[in-house]
Structure 1
Amino acid sequence: MSKLCLFISIVFFLLTIKPSFSKNQNNEKHEKSEHNFLESSKQGERLFKGLLLKRSKLKTCISCHNLAHSDTLNWNPSAWDIAHSFSEKEISDFNSVINNPIAKKMSEVHAGFQYSDEELGHLKNYLLKLKHDGTPKTKPVINNLILFLFLGLLITLALIDLFFTKKIKYKFIPIFVFLIALGYQMKMIGEDAMALGRNQDYAPDQPIKFSHKVHATDNKLDCRYCHTGVETSKSALIPSANVCLNCHLIVREGRYSGKFEINKIHAAIENNKPIKWVRIHKLPDFVFFSHAQHVKVGKRECQECHGEVEKMHILRQVKDLSMGWCLDCHDKTVVDYNRNHYYTNSFKKLHEELTKGTIDSLRVKDIGGRECGRCHY
């Protein structure tokens, strides 16, 4: 009986500890797999950045595929784009794209590339990690903050000496320091307050590398073909992917960008997902602005507000779009009263004065261009 009890106890003990053994083994396997992935991704990062000596003669991946935002248009897809497009693909697909590309542009750039399956695996793992972690974030510039705090310290020291320690013999020195530091601080606050909400020179990365120069200048596309609302509505409107497809159903490879960027249009159509363009020119919510009023009625050219867009590869905000800038334009712009039929039956008194020669010209400010209710209501 005692032997039977001993046997049952041993069996019960083994059954109890087996799952824990299995669990520990699974944890070890998982940790080992994760360690191998991290090591492989590090090797892939070195390959991507050209840090391996045996590959130093080849053109590095990072020399074409940016890891960070750039203010000049790099026609090659960014590292982030590649990570989201190719990281899940098989090694055989990787081999076709890197070592033996079919596309004309890629075959020129990748000429002489011969990566082994092991190296391609390292690159794939690096891209997977990049997709998960994102591209390196640029650190914010805090020079103005440091200067502001330093001026605050000077103000504090000047006040302490002026009212408490009184170690400086000449009282005008701490007073002078106090006034200069406080004045500069107020200047900094004023400039930052006025710049709040303004985005002059803003040029963000877009989901597709679209060049206005290529489309408007090189290929002679009229702005109104894409921006259909510019003469009839408040907004100029951004074209849908279907409008892009009118041309790119046939044009499948760009002169500079190859197939990668144009394929994004087809992917958006196939997946029924809109292209999320980043808006650049944006006025505050309390401001009313109509493109129809300015373009159709006022006969303004796009370049007056948006700069020479037809020469831009990367679209950026040229003007600050401040109220002062708008009012300055309203003060200077002469209304072509005689040839602009929109004004034929309006502002008759002004028209009569213009005809009689009482006034030599009409400006936007004379027909309500400075009335608050025109833009704010």
Structure 2
Amino acid sequence: MREHFFWGGFMKKTQIFISLFAFVTFILLSTNLYADSAESVVTEGHSHEDVKRGERFFKGLLPFDREYSSCVSCHNLNRVDTLNWNPSAMDIAIKYADKDFESFQSSVMNPVGIKMEASHVNFDISEEDLKTVKVYLDNLAHTGVPPAKPTHYNLILFLFLGLLITWAVVELIFIRKIKLKFIPLIILLGAFGWQVKMIVTDAIKLGRQENYAPDQPIKFSHKVHAGENGIDCMYCHTTAEQSKSAGIPATDLCMNCHILIREGTNSGKFEIAKVVDAAENGHSIEWKRIHNLPDHVYFSHAVHVGSGKLDCMQCHGPVEEMDIMQQHSDLSMGWCVNCHRDTEVDFGNNGYYEHYVKLHEEMKSGAIDSVKAVDIGANDCMRCHY
């Protein structure tokens, strides 16, 4: 009787635990599920149906018999991994939000520029339908693109592994119904080991952002500028040899070239027009920083580039091949320490290292044939943390 009472109570508690787990999982998966259901604010004088109809035309769902490419095939709504040279839907929406329909219609139906003319060839849409597209874009400029919904798969997996661990412990200590004891033991060790692996992996990633490539306010391609056109890094990043930071080029520096070059082979006029507008109106272009270090770490470009004579790609990777600039290395302490151990210093003909008299004498006598960064204190803790 006591065993039956214990078993019944345990099963009831287990059912409650599983139900609670399923409820939490449902809540996590449905986060932001209804975020898009709230009615957005539409342009004055137009209905929600006008917005939806314009959205269908923009996405190519209407008309059914169209023979031209849809708007969204060139002007993406969501972020993509490769560089889409065409302006995004949000870019267009913001540009024409305060302009009348005639300006928008002229730009679409009578495009100016080689790139845009080629993209809009055979584009045919009635005036009434194009008006709904303008309504949709005006609304998009107001509401913005819906944010990407977060995923919770790792959390759900972690909770599921916890459930397996709980079952295995209860089975081994209390229930003891399974004759082959190694089965729950294997499940216990496997689930616990996987949880530890998940924790360690995520802990190591804290503060690191390898491959980080945020959307920039202007689609600037290092592949075009540094690769195809061969512009030297120091032409734009003028303070890399003398300052802690490599610096972001001023808009006036961009205009040294773009005072004449107003249309790109790939991007057309839209992106370059942003640079010209910023220069003419005195606006700052708010570039997003890609390479970030923790606050307790000191790093100087002047020491590495100016004194150490390191090439930019040693840390930043093949920048001349990147359309979308991203963080190439993880910039972890281990990565820096290993670099200091492996990198030979330009020691012989570098005035910065003249005061290392003993090392110079050893090199002249042949006692050593090279000097690594670690040999001159690069891995001393206080060099980076003070």
Cα distance in structure 1, aligned partners of 2:242 and 2:172: 65
1:369 to 358, 369, 378: 378
- The equivalent of 2:226 in structure 1 is 216
Within 5 A, what are the aligned runs for 1:22-37? Answer: 36-37=46-47
Q: Which has the higher helix share?
A: 1
- The equivalent of 1:26 in structure 2 is none
Gaps (5+ residues) in structure 2? 1-40
State the Cα deviation string for residues 48-92 of structure 1 (Å, max 9, x = none). 011013452111100100100011111100001001001332121
Cα distance in structure 2, aligned partners of 1:55 and 1:278: 42
Relative to structure 2, which stretch is displaced further, 156-165 or 200-209?
156-165
1:288 to 298, 301, 307: 298
Instruction: Please tell me whether the aligned partners of residues 80 and 130 of structure 1 are also in contact (alpha carbons under 8 angstroms).
Output: yes
State the Cα deviation string for residues 247-288 of structure 1 (Å, max 9, x = none). 112111111111110111122234432111111111111111
Within 5 A, what are the aligned runs for 1:1-377? Answer: 36-54=46-64, 56-344=66-354, 346-377=355-386
State the Cα deviation string for residues 128-155 of structure 1 (Å, max 9, x = none). 1111221132222332222211111111
Gaps (5+ residues) in structure 1? 1-30
Cα distance in structure 2, aligned partners of 1:218 and 1:360: 38
Matched residue SS, 1:53: coil
| TM-score between both structures, scaled by the size of structure 2 | 0.85
- Tell me by how many angstroms 1:186 deviates: 1.1
For residues 121 and 212 of structure 1, do their structure 2 counterparts lie closer, same or farther at Cα, with a shift above 3 Å needed?
Answer: same
> Which letter does structure 1 place at the counterpart of 2:214?
P
Instruction: Please tell me whether the aligned partners of residues 164 and 187 of structure 2 are also in contact (alpha carbons under 8 angstroms).
Output: yes
State the Cα deviation string for residues 221-242 of structure 1 (Å, max 9, x = none). 1111110111010000001212
- Tell me by how many angstroms 1:357 deviates: 2.8
Cα distance in structure 1, aligned partners of 2:50 and 2:65: 16
For residues 271 and 336 of structure 1, do their structure 2 counterparts lie closer, same or farther at Cα, with a shift above 3 Å needed?
Answer: closer
Which protein shows a greater Rg?
A: 1
Cα distance in structure 2, aligned partners of 1:376 and 1:69: 37
- Tell me by how many angstroms 1:158 deviates: 1.1
> Which letter does structure 2 place at the counterpart of 1:365?
V
Cα distance in structure 2, aligned partners of 1:220 and 1:305: 19
- Tell me by how many angstroms 1:35 deviates: 8.7
For residues 260 and 246 of structure 1, do their structure 2 counterparts lie closer, same or farther at Cα, with a shift above 3 Å needed?
Answer: same
Q: Percent identity?
A: 55
Instruction: Please tell me whether the aligned partners of residues 60 and 70 of structure 2 are also in contact (alpha carbons under 8 angstroms).
Output: yes
| TM-score between both structures, scaled by the size of structure 1 | 0.87
> Which letter does structure 1 place at the counterpart of 2:200?
G
Cα distance in structure 1, aligned partners of 2:137 and 2:65: 18
Cα distance in structure 1, aligned partners of 2:362 and 2:192: 53
- The equivalent of 2:5 in structure 1 is none
Cα distance in structure 1, aligned partners of 2:195 and 2:283: 48
For residues 93 and 170 of structure 1, do their structure 2 counterparts lie closer, same or farther at Cα, with a shift above 3 Å needed?
Answer: same
- Tell me by how many angstroms 1:178 deviates: 1.8
Cα distance in structure 2, aligned partners of 1:107 and 1:101: 5
